[in-house]
């Protein structure tokens, strides 16, 4: 393992953002609508779920917890992006791209353009992306083709516990928890197996879902409610169809839930190759950070003058002034939160590191929905990205826009500049209202993930909601054909069908979207931040 390059970018402080954990509210009509949208559970895809997901799962509309970062969010600090080569075998290479932040801007010495950093400066990891590069031949030239293996956020327990105000409304025995699909199924399985015993004992608390160490990995896909729910429902459907499992119909089959959990397993932060090396020189799993000096000790051949870049923060160069912050409980703030949570995952799946001047418009009352974007930057320098334009468009328009507009209920106008290493700048207007401008710190968004909460009860509620929905879809799939509609679906009440009809009338079709330039006419990406 060796560090190829580190890019340091100094940033000013900002208003403290808040954590909006996933919440759920499930009603019988929601199950019916989901059954209709997913062809009775046979087509569980993000674009189908996005139509009604906002009625079931989403970030809390009321901010629940203040996020904590060392020295406070107002402190000037350094964002960093680090490229690490972890393997080179038989004509292939594997790289890790690690993005994070420091506790402060700790410059020990400055000599002209040369900058030296204090060995005690703390470095916190926020995302770990693993890319496998395979060498092949194209038109007589050797090229490297990237294959994304994982893109994980690093969740941090201290983000919840560092601010003492977060503990005020806790129940006795509550601990910081994660709300990843694997946690929901583990919680459901343990409740099925031991819940009655634990409740009868009285003095024993089910700690399933609680942080066991300071750090925990979570797939970036979990930050999109649609993607998280899609992963969960697919896992239960696959587990229920296993001939060795029982039918999940009473929410109490721990074997089926264990199988579902196996299908949505997350990476173990302790087994990450870079973290394993970092453990040899630091206490990263307990402290949550590594010092700059310890990082250099891991790579004694690293040339700071040649391989470390630094960009100083200059206030007069700021391109964007926010007039709103994420602790406001408004429709605009919730929409900006969904964009900030979902967009980085869509970008990395498209192999983009940045997207500038992206314009989103959705006017369902006029039958209009539009996506326009310019200057997408490739995740890997020189990589061809035109082939992913259509995928990016479909995910943003067909999935993310459905979430933020609640399936076409709201008129949305937004302009977005997004960089997965630094920040997302969002200007948004809903239903012709006031224009709100937000800045979201992607360099530290693991501290703000919707998959974290301070309550064991929150794991229970979300787990029961997702499993109940999965059960309803299973029942829909198992429904006898004589009771099906002409399209092969289960019989729905007339009021539910009327609700769906009104929703479909309000939602613009793909044919009504403003035309987006095809790939050949779109601009090529600029340079990556790495």
pLDDT per position as a tens digit, 473-492? 877 777 633 444 433 333 33
Residue 379 lies in a domain: yes
Pick from 113-117, 369-373, 413-417: least confident: 369-373
Looking at the domain assignment, is residue 381 inside a domain? yes
pTM of the prediction?
0.83
pLDDT at 497: 42
**Maximum distance among all Cα pairs of the chain, rounded to whole angstroms:** 81
**Structure confidence by residue, pLDDT tens digits, 110-168:** 766 678 899 999 999 999 999 888 777 666 676 667 788 889 999 999 999 887 776 66
Is 366 within the bounds of a domain? yes
Residue 6 pLDDT: 94
Would you state the torsion angle of the CA atoms of residues 279, 529, 79, 325, taken in this order, to the nearest 10 degrees?
-130
Give the DSSP per-residue string, 320-344. ---S--TTS-SHHHHHHHHHHHHHH
pLDDT at 517 over 50: no
Maximum mean pLDDT: which of 168-177, 432-441, 486-495 = 432-441
Residue 405: inside a domain? yes
**From 233-237, 403-407, 513-517, the region with the lowest mean pLDDT:** 513-517
Tally of CB atoms within 10 A around 249: 14
**Number of structural domains in the chain:** 1
**In which band, very low, low, confident or very high, does the pLDDT at 388 lie, cut at 50, 70 and 90?**
confident
- Asked if pLDDT for residue 323 goes beyond 60, the answer is yes
Question: Domain range holding 432?
Answer: 54-59+320-450+507-521
* Tens digits of residue pLDDT in 262-311: 999 999 999 999 999 999 999 999 999 999 999 999 999 998 888 888 88
What pLDDT is recorded for position 213?
A: 85
Q: What single-letter DSSP state applies at residue 490?
A: B
Predicted local distance difference test score (pLDDT) of residue 223? 95
pLDDT grade, residue 462 (50/70/90)? very high
> Could you tell me how far CA 70 lies from the centroid of its own chain?
22
pLDDT at 289: 95
At 80 the pLDDT is: 95
Indicate whether 519 pLDDT > 50: no
Q: How confident is the model at residue 182 (pLDDT cuts 50, 70, 90)?
A: very high
Choose the most confident range, by mean pLDDT, from 345-354, 498-507, 514-523.
Answer: 345-354
Buried b (16+ CB within 10 A) or exposed e, 285-322: eeebbbbbebbbebbeebeeeeebebeeeeeeeeeeeb
- Report the share of the chain in percent with pLDDT over 70: 78
Q: What is the residue-wise DSSP string for 139-162?
A: TTEEEEEEEEEEEEEEEETHHHHS
pLDDT at residue number 418: 94
What's the half-sphere exposure (Cβ side, CA atoms, 13 Å) at 25? 6
Residue 524 confidence (pLDDT) above 70 = no
Q: What pLDDT is recorded for position 530?
A: 29
- Range of lowest pLDDT (11-25, 430-444, 505-519): 505-519
Q: Which two tokens stand for residue 371?
A: 């996506």
Phi, psi angle pair for 287, to nearest 5°: -85, -30
pLDDT, one tens digit per residue, over 65-89 is 889 999 999 999 999 999 999 877 6
Is 428 contained in some domain? yes
Question: Is 154 part of any domain?
Answer: no
pLDDT attached to residue 91: 65
436, part of any domain: yes
The Cα–Cα gap between 129 and 357 comes to 25
Token output for 411: 């008129």
Q: What is the mean pLDDT of residues 22-36?
A: 79
| Per-residue confidence (pLDDT) for residue 474, from 0 to 100 | 77
- Of 425 and 164, more confident: 425
pLDDT band of 194, cuts 50, 70, 90: low
Task: Using CB atoms within 10 Å of the CB of residue 268, give its burial: 0 to 12 exposed, 13 to 18 middle, 19+ buried.
Answer: exposed
Q: Output 117 or 369, whichever has higher pLDDT.
A: 117
Q: What is the pLDDT of residues 330-345, one digit of tens each?
A: 999 999 999 999 999 9
Q: Average pLDDT, whole number, for the chain?
A: 80
φ, ψ of residue 457 to 5 degrees: the values are -60, -35
- Among 157-166, 325-334, 391-400, 457-466, name the one with the lowest average pLDDT: 157-166
Q: Which of 25-29, 198-202, 258-262 has the lowest mean pLDDT?
A: 198-202
State the average pLDDT over residues 457-468: 89
Lowest mean pLDDT across 43-47, 106-110, 469-473: 106-110
21 located within any domain: no
Residue 207 has pLDDT above 90, yes or no: no
Q: β-pairing, 77-89 with 22-24?
A: unpaired
Query: Which residues lie across from 128 on neighbouring strands?
Result: 98, 152
């Amino acid at each position: 393992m060796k560090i190829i390059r580190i890019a340091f970018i100094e940033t000013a402080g900002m208003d403290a953002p808040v954590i909006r954990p996933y919440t759920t509210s499930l009603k019988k009509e929601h199950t019916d609508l989901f059954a209709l949208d997913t062809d009775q559970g046979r087509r569980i895809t993000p674009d189908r779920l996005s139509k009604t997901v906002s009625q079931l799962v989403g970030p809390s509309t009321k901010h629940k917890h203040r996020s904590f970062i060392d020295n406070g969010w107002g402190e000037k600090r350094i964002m960093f992006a680090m490229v690490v080569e972890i393997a080179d075998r038989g004509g292939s290479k594997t790289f890790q791209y690690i993005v994070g932040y420091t506790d402060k801007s700790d410059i020990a010495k400055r000599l002209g353009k040369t900058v030296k950093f204090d060995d005690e400066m703390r470095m916190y990891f926020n995302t770990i992306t693993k890319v496998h590069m395979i060498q092949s031949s194209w038109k007589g030239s050797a090229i490297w083709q990237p294959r994304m293996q994982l893109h994980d956020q690093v969740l941090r327990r201290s983000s919840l516990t560092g601010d003492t105000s977060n503990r005020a409304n806790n129940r006795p025995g509550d601990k910081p928890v994660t709300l990843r699909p694997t946690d929901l199924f583990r919680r459901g399985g343990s409740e099925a197996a031991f819940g009655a015993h634990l409740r009868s004992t009285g003095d024993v608390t089910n700690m399933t879902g609680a942080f066991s160490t300071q750090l925990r990995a979570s797939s970036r896909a979990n930050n999109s409610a649609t993607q998280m729910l899609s992963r969960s429902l697919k896992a239960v459907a696959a587990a229920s169809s296993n001939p060795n499992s029982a039918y999940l119909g009473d929410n109490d089959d721990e074997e089926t839930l264990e199988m579902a959990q196996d299908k949505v397993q997350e990476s173990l932060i302790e087994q990450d190759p870079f973290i394993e090396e970092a453990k040899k020189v630091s206490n990263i799993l307990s402290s949550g950070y590594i010092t700059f000096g310890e990082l250099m000790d891991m790579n004694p051949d690293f040339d700071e003058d040649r391989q470390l870049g630094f960009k100083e923060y200059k206030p007069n160069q700021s391109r964007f002034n926010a007039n709103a912050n994420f602790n406001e409980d408004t429709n605009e703030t919730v929409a900006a939160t969904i964009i900030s949570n979902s967009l980085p995952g869509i970008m990395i799946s498209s192999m983009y590191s940045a997207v500038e001047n992206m314009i989103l418009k959705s006017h369902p009352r006029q039958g209009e929905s539009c996506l326009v974007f310019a200057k997408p930057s490739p995740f890997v320098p020189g990589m061809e990205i035109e082939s992913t334009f259509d995928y990016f468009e479909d995910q943003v328009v067909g999935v993310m826009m459905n979430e933020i507009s609640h399936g076409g209920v709201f008129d949305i106008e937004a302009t977005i500049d997004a960089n997965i290493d630094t920040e997302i700048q969002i200007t948004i207007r809903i239903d012709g209202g006031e224009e709100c401008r937000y800045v979201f710190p992607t360099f530290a968004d693991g501290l703000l993930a919707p998959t974290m909460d301070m309550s064991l009860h929150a794991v229970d509620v979300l787990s029961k909601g997702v499993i109940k929905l999965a059960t309803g879809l299973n029942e829909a799939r198992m429904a006898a054909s004589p009771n099906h509609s002409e399209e092969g679906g289960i019989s729905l009440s007339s009021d539910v069908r009327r609700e769906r009809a009104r929703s479909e009338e309000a939602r613009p079709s793909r044919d009504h979207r403003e035309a987006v330039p095809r790939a050949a006419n779109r601009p090529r990406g600029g340079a990556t931040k790495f």
